[in-house]
């Protein structure tokens, strides 16, 4: 049987609107929106992001969690006598819970030998300290690196050479040597005021990480700006008499979001590792619970109390691994040429 022209017209009229693209489909998306969509579809990025978010929540709400569980992170805050819960006549190990006894609901990860501090409380506060130091150091180093990179890349002559000379100078200075030199000076100067000493150590550690952490991003941003400053939109803005500050932060900076985001995502795990490493070496934090400090205290009890050491080690491993994998996913999302 044939189809008449009238029937064909009805079919075309009925099927036509179903194939017309909607306004949402026609709307363009920015590169950032495309990158976020790729990131949302990346299962590894979603899992790592969930792990990082969980650890951040545990660190941020550490005071509330420890208060609700009635556990205490330092020897000065415990309300009980250590001799009541530790065997001071022998190994100084807990009388209940790990490592010599079964699970202890009041202290799931047990108590620290010799001090009777709850290991879970110290772990949560150590996580809080590591995330605080890493986040503040990352934000400050990124701000310094972006500003100096923009100025150096856009300017010509002595200003560019001066900034790059200072950058190369800091790159040539050994990081560990600087930390080793500053730590004893700070401790000796504030050793009479222990409460103030812990705060000074916190700020000085952040300062050390920032001082030796902005140079790589500065060189990266400078290289990007050197190529962008010759583009037509920058030259048009200069011809129109647009102020330099507006060109830097309104024209150039939006085109540098991708490398800045990638550098930030990769800096966080590096700073977490550095904070733990410095505290482990005894040149980081001493008056505030930290993961590296716990590892330093637990290494002497490795053979007798493995959980005391493994808890902070596994926490640092999971946090750094999740941050690194999330950083790789962010890099791949913003640069499709590097997608796995």
- pLDDT tens digits, 296-328: 888 888 888 888 889 999 999 999 899 889 888
| Structural domain count of the chain | 1
Q: Specify which residues 94 forms β-bridges with.
A: 86
CB 291 within 8 A of CB 222: no
- pLDDT tens digits, 274-284: 888 887 776 76
Residue 22 maps to a domain: no
CB 274 within 8 A of CB 176: no
Whole-angstrom Cα distance, residue 338 to residue 266? 15
Residue 279 maps to a domain: yes
Biggest alpha carbon–alpha carbon distance for the chain: 103
User: pLDDT at residue 18 above 50?
Assistant: no
Average pLDDT over residues 76-105: 83
User: pLDDT at residue 170 above 50?
Assistant: yes
CB 163 within 8 A of CB 218: yes
Whole-angstrom Cα distance, residue 221 to residue 260? 8
Residue 259 maps to a domain: yes
Map residue 289 onto helix, strand or coil: coil
Whole-angstrom Cα distance, residue 261 to residue 138? 11
User: pLDDT at residue 159 above 60?
Assistant: yes
Please state whether the peptide bond connecting residue 181 to the residue before it is cis, i.e. omega within 30 degrees of 0: no
Residue 181 maps to a domain: yes
Residue 19 maps to a domain: no
Whole-angstrom Cα distance, residue 112 to residue 120? 10
- pLDDT tens digits, 95-149: 888 888 888 888 888 898 888 899 999 999 999 988 999 899 999 999 999 999 9
Q: Taking the CA atoms of the chain, what radius of gyration do you get in angstroms?
A: 28
Q: Quote the domain boundaries for residue 328.
A: 37-338
Those residues whose C-beta lies under 8 Å from the C-beta of residue 116, and which sit 6 or more positions away, are: 75, 78, 80, 82, 85, 86, 94
Q: What is the secondary structure of 176-231 as a DSSP string?
A: HHHHHHHHHHHHHHHTT-HHHHHHHHHHHHHHHHHHTTSHHHHHHHHHHHHHHTTS
Give the pLDDT confidence score for residue 20 in this predicted structure. Answer: 44
Give the pLDDT confidence score for residue 314 in this predicted structure. Answer: 93
CATH of the domain at 93: 1.10.3720.10
Query: Does the pTM of the predicted model rise above 0.85?
Result: no
CB 298 within 8 A of CB 308: yes
Residues above pLDDT 70, as percent of the chain = 86
Residue 58 maps to a domain: yes
- pLDDT tens digits, 267-303: 888 888 888 888 777 676 777 888 888 888 888 888 8
CB 212 within 8 A of CB 204: no
Identity of the highest mean pLDDT range in 122-136, 187-201, 244-258: 122-136
- Residue 63 to residues 68, 82, 122, 124, Cα–Cα distance (Å): 9, 22, 11, 9
CB 238 within 8 A of CB 162: no
User: pLDDT at residue 19 above 90?
Assistant: no
pLDDT band at 21 (very low <50, low <70, confident <90, very high): very low
What angle separates helix 257-281 from helix 306-334, to the nearest 10 degrees?
170
CB 200 within 8 A of CB 183: no
Residue 268 maps to a domain: yes
Average pLDDT over residues 1-7: 47
Give the pLDDT confidence score for residue 13 in this predicted structure. Answer: 44
Those residues whose C-beta lies under 8 Å from the C-beta of residue 220, and which sit 6 or more positions away, are: 145, 149, 259, 263
Q: Specify which residues 86 forms β-bridges with.
A: 94
The residue count for the chain: 340
Q: Specify which residues 118 forms β-bridges with.
A: 111
Map residue 111 onto helix, strand or coil: strand
Average pLDDT over residues 42-47: 89
Residue 27 maps to a domain: no
Whole-angstrom Cα distance, residue 289 to residue 187? 17
């Amino acid at each position: 049987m044939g189809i008449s022209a009238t029937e064909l017209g009805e079919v075309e009229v009925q099927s036509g609107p179903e194939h017309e693209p909607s306004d949402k489909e026609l709307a363009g998306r920015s590169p950032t929106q495309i990158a976020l969509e790729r990131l949302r579809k990346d299962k590894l990025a979603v899992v790592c992001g969930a792990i990082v978010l969980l650890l951040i929540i545990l660190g941020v709400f550490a005071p509330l969690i420890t208060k609700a569980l009635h556990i205490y992170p330092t020897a000065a805050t415990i309300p009980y006598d250590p001799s009541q819960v530790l065997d001071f006549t022998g190994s100084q190990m807990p009388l209940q819970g790990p490592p010599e006894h079964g699970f202890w609901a009041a202290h799931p990860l047990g108590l620290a030998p010799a001090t009777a501090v709850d290991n879970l409380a110290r772990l949560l506060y150590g996580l809080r300290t590591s995330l605080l130091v890493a986040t503040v150091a990352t934000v400050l180093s990124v701000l310094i690196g972006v500003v100096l990179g923009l100025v150096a890349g856009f300017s010509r002559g002595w200003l560019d050479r001066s900034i790059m000379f200072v950058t190369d100078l800091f790159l040539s200075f050994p990081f560990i040597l600087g930390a080793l030199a500053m730590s004893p000076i700070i401790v000796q100067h504030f050793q009479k005021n222990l409460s103030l000493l812990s705060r000074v150590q916190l700020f000085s550690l952040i300062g050390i990480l920032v001082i030796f952490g902005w140079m790589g991003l500065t060189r990266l941003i400078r290289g990007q700006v050197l190529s962008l400053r010759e583009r037509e939109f920058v030259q048009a803005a200069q011809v129109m008499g647009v102020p330099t500050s507006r060109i830097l932060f309104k024209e150039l900076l939006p085109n540098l979001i991708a490398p800045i985001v990638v550098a930030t995502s990769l800096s966080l795990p590096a700073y977490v590792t550095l904070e733990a490493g410095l505290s482990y070496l005894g040149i980081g934090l001493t008056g505030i619970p930290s993961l590296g400090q716990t590892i330093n205290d637990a290494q002497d009890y490795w053979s007798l109390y493995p959980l005391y050491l493994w808890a902070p080690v596994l926490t640092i491993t999971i946090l750094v691994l999740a941050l690194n994998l999330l950083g790789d996913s962010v890099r791949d999302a913003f640069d499709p040429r590097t997608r796995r």
